[in-house]
Chains A and B, each alone.
Chain A
C-alpha cells in the first residue's frame, strides 16, 4: 500500500463551477477525514467517516459542500457553485480507529 492518495493534485476552475476531489485511503483504515488548509493556518476539520457512515460535519461547511464514502473505501468531496473563498488546500487523511492519521498530499484548489 502506497499510502493515502488524492486526485487531482491541482485544480483551477472558474467561480461558479462545481468541482469534485477523490481520496483513496490506506486500505485497512476505517476512518477517513477531510480537512481544508488555508495559508498560515493549521488543518481545519471538514468532515469524517467511519467506514461508509459520515459521523460528523463541520458547522463551517456550507450546503455547497458534500462528501461521500459509498463503500467505505474511497471518498469524494464535491463543492458546488465554487466561490473565491473556497481556494485552499484540501487534505484527506485516514486512520485505523484513533491511531495517528496518515495524510495524502492534498488537492490545491484555485478559484479564478
Chain B
C-alpha cells in the first residue's frame, strides 16, 4: 500500500517567521512529487512538480527540495505572511503501470498570525 505522510499536521507561526514542513513518500518506483496549496473555500492550486533527485524549486518566498532516494520532500516558506495561511498538500506519483495517479497526503495546515 502506497502511503504519503505529511508533518506536522498543523502549524501556527507569527508573521515574519520562516517555516518548513515535510512530505514522506515511498522511495521505490518514483515518478513525481507534487506540492499544492489549498486555501479555505478555494480549490487546490499547484505549486511545484518535482521529478529529479536533488531538485530544488522556488516560487517567490516558497521553495521545495526533493530527495527521492530517502523518500522525502521539504517545503519552506521564508518570512511567512498571513496570506500564506492554507493547507499545503503533497502528492506522489509512481511509475508502476501507466496510470501515474496521485497519492495524496493529508496536508499540513498553516496558520500565520499577524
Chain A positions within 8 Å of B, measured between CB atoms, are 4, 33, 41-45, 48, 55-56, 91, 93, 98-106
Contacts and interface: CB of A to CB of B under 8 A. Distances in A.
A42 B106 contact: yes
A106 B105 contact: no
A98 B43 contact: no
Given A93-B44, A98-B93, 6 more contacts: A42-B104, A98-B49, A103-B44, A103-B45, A105-B43, A106-B43
Given A43-B89, A43-B104, A48 B99 contact: yes
B40 to A, nearest CB: 12
25 contacts: A4-B43, A41-B106, A42-B87, A42-B89, A42-B104, A42-B105, A42-B106, A43-B89, A43-B104, A45-B101, A45-B103, A48-B99, A55-B99, A56-B101, A91-B43, A93-B44, A98-B32, A98-B49, A99-B49, A100-B36, A100-B46, A101-B44, A101-B102, A103-B45, A105-B42
Interface residues of B, number: 23
- Do most interface residues of chain B lie in helix, strand or loop, or is the interface mixed? strand
Given A42-B105, A44-B104, A103 B31 contact: no
B104 A45 contact: yes
